[in-house]
Amino acid sequence: MLTHRKKQQLLYLILGFLLGLIVAAIVVFFGVIRQFTKLQIEKIEQKFPATKDTIVVNVNNTSSRVLKPAEQDSTIQLADTLCDETEMDEIQVDRMINAIRVNMHALDTNIAETKELDVEQWESPMRFMGYKLANNKLIIYGVDITDVEFAYKDDNIYLLVAGNSILLSPSDEFLHFSGSLFQRHSSAED
């Protein structure tokens, strides 16, 4: 018969053996995965040789929204190694069309006071039509600012176009113009 001490030693022996078996299985498992992964990477590298790709970006510094003032005298020139120059398309970016300070009149005819508003007209290659109004500055997309007027009532600013007034809500994000007013107005011009 086995004594209590012998049973305990046998239990420790079995647990040690199982623990060693588990550790060995883990080492073998991850070793196989590492070898398999290395083989797959080598196959991929053989099909796709390691070449560095770059993109050609020509930036017109006076109209690009992504340049900071300190970068305005520089031009980015990079080359693409995967295609020749005849295959390359021009990258289209947003560009500023016009920037003016407008005088807004009051919608109430009893008030003769005017207020000033800085307005920037931008064009988007995605034909976005909307605006952002923050800190007494309006950035407007898809609308010719020479065809519209601006007015105020209380602390609200309105865009007046084709006999209609649109409330411009202050926001740090760009907002779409609601409704189809501008689609009708712009399609009449086309």
Percentage above 70 pLDDT, the chain: 70
pLDDT tens readout for residues 102-135: 988 888 778 788 889 999 998 888 888 889 999 8
Q: Residue 158 is encoded by which pair of tokens?
A: 């309105």
Residue 175 has pLDDT above 80, yes or no: yes
3 state SS of 185:
helix
Per-residue confidence band for 79, with pLDDT thresholds at 50, 70 and 90: low
Mean pLDDT in residue range 23-30: 88
Report DSSP letters for 122-188, one per residue: EE-TT---EEEEETTEEEEESS-TTS-EEEEETTEEEEEETTEEEEE---SS-EEPPSSHHHHHHHH
